[in-house]
Structure 1
Amino acid sequence: MDWFIAPEYWWSRLVFQRALAGLYLVAFLTAALQFRALLGERGMLPIPRFVARVSFRRAPSVFQLHYSDRFFGACSWAGCAVSAALFAGLDSHVPLWGGILLWLVPWALYLSIVNVGQTWYAFGWESLLLEVGFLAAFLGNDEVAPPIVVLFLLRWILFRVEFGAGLIKMRGDACWRKLTCLDYHHETQPMPGPLSWFFHHLPKPLHRVEVAANHFTQLVVPVLLFTPQPIATAAASLMIVTQLWLVLSGNFSWLNWITIVLAASALRLPGSAPSVPPTPLWYEVVVLAVAALLGYLSYHPVVNLVSRRQVMNRSFDPLHLVNTYGAFGSVSRFRYEVVVEGTLDDVPREDSDWREYEFKGKPGDPRHWPRQFAPYHLRLDWLMWFAGLSPAYAGEWFGGLMERLLEEDRDTLRLLRRSPFPPGEPPRYVRARLFRYRYTTWRELRETGACWERTYVREYMPPTRLARAAQRS
């Protein structure tokens, strides 16, 4: 049926699907390289302990049926392989039904990971990848033109991502309404990037322009996605430019990139579509049924969107099919960082030789310039930012981190940039202290070469040693 398909979006679909497969690959690679220390059998929040108390119905996952570190690793690397195959275009060389099933494989595998990932996977972009990934399975392959209803639903996701983020800002911190939030945000964001220091030092009038432009892009432009072309393409293009600006300003995992990928699906790219056979009736029925299901599940996200008590990043179904999004409803005015240290001394004193552990992404040594990691996601580093906001955010896992540093756990040390202790000589005590960080000024940067200046605030965790070592002594 002519009304069912939009052949003019043939190339937009191609770009969207290949880029989404690339993000899937990054997500599975992140899981494969980090899970043992975070979620493994000896991890800080072990999956076996989680599935023992949470039912399959609440958190559907293949790991509810069986778990071992080897099995989790196999699933993660299998996800990498399928994602790489999709990135290479394998779905275009199989029948239409095979393409749908192929796209559902990474969705099901990643759903299994997210649903047992606990606080390490409690980020909005996890649900966003699942929601977009599920819908992408029904976008078709080279045997059919893109279905209009699926393209519409992709815009519906993009609308909720941007509009929800805009509303949470206007309803949240007053600095968004006063246009002053960027006076602080680049300095206090979870994981600064290599250009964040320079963004912070832009003139304050330009920060006001940035905030105003952000409000326009998130509260006005999303409505234009549902207007005729070329207005919809212009709206999507403006969103892409805004997201690329955010990519330059910090490390936000794949949040910005998946938003760009979503916006690409709304672009009307030049080029003619190849001729294809008539759309199969079974495919039309499946797509319309999926659309009806997602429309039904949109009720709670819409209610949340219009509510004065709007919440950010919430899933309303265990399959993460339709979710609510939002970011930075409030902005911290000061940056606090937890600095972890260890010593080889038998008796820990203030003047002991305390050596600092360095993380890959979070600020530590004031002389170390932030690096670019996104779209790769450093999960421990992100949670360390939350730990600096309040010990309540770290209650489940921080003690486990300290214990594994005392044990010289190989998988945990791989998550760090550097351990200050040589192999085979783990610290006898570790401690954590809270510091306030601020960006240096231009003058301080020239004089010291440091991009950060930090001030001691208080003790975060007193010197601690392994219980069995304490018993032997």
Structure 2
Amino acid sequence: MELFSAEGYEFARQVLQRGIAAVYLIAFISAANQFPALLGEHGLLPAPRFLERVRGRGIPTLFRWHYSDRFLLAVAWAGAAVAALLVAGLPQAGPPWLPLAAFLLIWFLYLSIVNIGQTFYGFGWESLLLEAGFLAAFLGSTEVAPPVTVLFLFRWLVFRLEFGAGLIKMRGDPVWRNLTALYYHHETQPMPNPASWFFHHLPKPLHKAEVLGNHFAQLVVPFFLFFPQPVAGIAALVVIGTQAWLVLSGNFAWLNILTILLAFSTVGDSTIQALLPGARFSAPDPSATPVWFAVVVLAVTALMLYWAWDPLRNLFSRDQLMNASFNRWHLSNAYGAFGSITRIRNEVVIEGTLDEPGPAAQWREYGFKGKPGDPARMPRQFAPYHLRLDWLMWFLALGASGGSWFPVLVQKLLDGDPRTLALLRTDPFAGIPPRWIRVRVYRYRFSTWAERRAERVWWVREPSGFLLEPVRRPEA
């Protein structure tokens, strides 16, 4: 089994297994907190109705035969419990079948949620987490050395993720090619964080250097992930560094954190020991690998290589797809982000009143947890936690259709629905249903240094029209 086993990658395995499990833990907690209000029996897009529409299509999910909010919560908390055990490293301390079973379990539990999550789970990092969790199942336990083929599949995943993102940028918005993308991105990204204001105000020549560095990291560096050490390890450190820069400058759920974790698949123990001379890692005997485990891993490797053709072809297609799944299991996907950059930031602001509409009406604004609202409120850090409603509100402001869920959101606010209100940061009516609701559109921009000092605001906004004229709560 010596050719099958990758010696000197124990640190990589620990980071991959524990780190990926930690992201699953966050994802399951997010599902328990948000899914019932967004997609539950009485949610904005009720999952039972979706399941009725897709019945007979063979979508892999535990909820095919039965959905209830109670069952969803049981699945989410069970997944969180198993993920927590993996973060602690307990299954990995046993025989290789134990972490294999644990990871496959949380992978399928989360797949069951994603496959009925509709637009609220239509993000590329859902597929990324599913693919990463599936691969992590075959890294084995501390009793065996990490399989070399699985580490290769992780490198192939990082390559697709980075190179695909680089290509979609070069094929997309010209601001990536003329290096001006970051003149706008920090201000118009879906959910700025506390540092985004400062990143936006960096000198423009530095913004151009950032874009150039991004192109190098995504279009050149990924090829070196397949080189021998130490070249592969250095390439991984470049990926980790650029992703850490993105973590500092914005809220992108777990996309960047997970990419950093995946890049460690290329970092050997020797690289870590060079950086931390006192680090010591166990070295399992390659001959201890059970035959059954090798057979299973090689079969899965063959399957993933078979599925690799579609994403490989997609990379070199003129009509490159971004964040696409080519099979219902969300394995061997296409990735990419921000092929186009928004130049202007519009925000949808929901307001309610207890008065009759008119010049004397007092309209009060609902506050969201992550998306901009009150200009004086500093942007918050939420990633790697995913605020799904806030993200959909950003797409709505870009002109995306909210026809299936947004009218329901408005109606639930008119009803004072407690579950829906729990998704928000502030309810200006303290649980009392408003009589009327209207939806305004504002144009936002970051304040200047002078405006920040004088007015203590992070944003400057001006009215840009109405998305929805005042609508009334039906009388009882």
TM-score range, shorter chain: over 0.9
Residue 207 (structure 2) aligns with: 207
Residue 348 (structure 1) aligns with: 357
Check conservation: 1:29, 1:80, Cα contact below 8 A.
yes
Using the alignment, how far apart are the partners of 2:196 and 2:162 within structure 1? 22
Residue 310 (structure 1) aligns with: 320
Using the alignment, how far apart are the partners of 1:409 and 1:185 within structure 2? 35
2:292 partner amino acid: W
1:350 deviates by 4.8
* CA deviation map 1:77-129 (0-9, x unaligned): 11110100100112123322222111111100000000000000000000000
Structure 1 segment 127-206 matched on structure 2, within 5 A: 127-206=127-206
Please give the secondary structure, in 1, of the residue aligned with 2:288: coil
Using the alignment, how far apart are the partners of 2:443 and 2:99 within structure 1? 51
Residue 464 (structure 2) aligns with: 457
* CA deviation map 1:403-439 (0-9, x unaligned): 111111111111111000023x210111101110001
Residue 254 (structure 1) aligns with: 254
Please give the secondary structure, in 1, of the residue aligned with 2:3: helix
Please give the secondary structure, in 1, of the residue aligned with 2:445: strand
Check conservation: 2:107, 2:133, Cα contact below 8 A.
yes
1:58 deviates by 4.6
Residue 282 (structure 2) aligns with: 273
Q: Give identity over the alignment, percent.
A: 59
4+ residue segments displaced more than 4 Å: none
Please give the secondary structure, in 2, of the residue aligned with 1:310: coil
Please give the secondary structure, in 2, of the residue aligned with 1:265: helix
* CA deviation map 1:147-194 (0-9, x unaligned): 000000000000000000000000000000000000000000000000
Using the alignment, how far apart are the partners of 1:455 and 1:143 within structure 2? 62
1:260 partner amino acid: I
Residue 10 (structure 2) aligns with: 10
**Unaligned 5+ runs, structure 1:** none
Check conservation: 2:143, 2:284, Cα contact below 8 A.
no
1:284 deviates by 1.0
Please give the secondary structure, in 2, of the residue aligned with 1:358: coil
Cα RMSD (Å) = 1.1
1:192 partner amino acid: P
1:35 partner amino acid: F
Please give the secondary structure, in 2, of the residue aligned with 1:362: coil
Residues 165-174 or 414-423, more deviating: 414-423
1:357 to 337, 351, 366: 366
Count of paired positions: 466
* CA deviation map 1:36-61 (0-9, x unaligned): 11001000000000000113545210
Residue 404 (structure 2) aligns with: 396
Residue 276 (structure 2) aligns with: none
Residue 24 (structure 1) aligns with: 24
Using the alignment, how far apart are the partners of 1:119 and 1:63 within structure 2? 17
Query: Does the alignment pair 1:414 with 2:422?
Result: yes
Check conservation: 2:155, 2:263, Cα contact below 8 A.
yes
1:449 partner amino acid: R
User: TM-score with structure 1 length normalisation?
Assistant: 0.97
Check conservation: 1:24, 1:106, Cα contact below 8 A.
yes
**Unaligned 5+ runs, structure 2:** 274-279
Using the alignment, how far apart are the partners of 1:56 and 1:283 within structure 2? 34
1:278 deviates by 2.1
1:393 deviates by 2.8
1:378 deviates by 0.3
Please give the secondary structure, in 2, of the residue aligned with 1:8: coil
Residues 163-172 or 304-313, more deviating: 304-313
Check conservation: 2:92, 2:98, Cα contact below 8 A.
no
Check conservation: 1:436, 1:454, Cα contact below 8 A.
yes
Check conservation: 1:438, 1:453, Cα contact below 8 A.
yes
1:225 deviates by 0.1
Using the alignment, how far apart are the partners of 1:58 and 1:323 within structure 2? 19
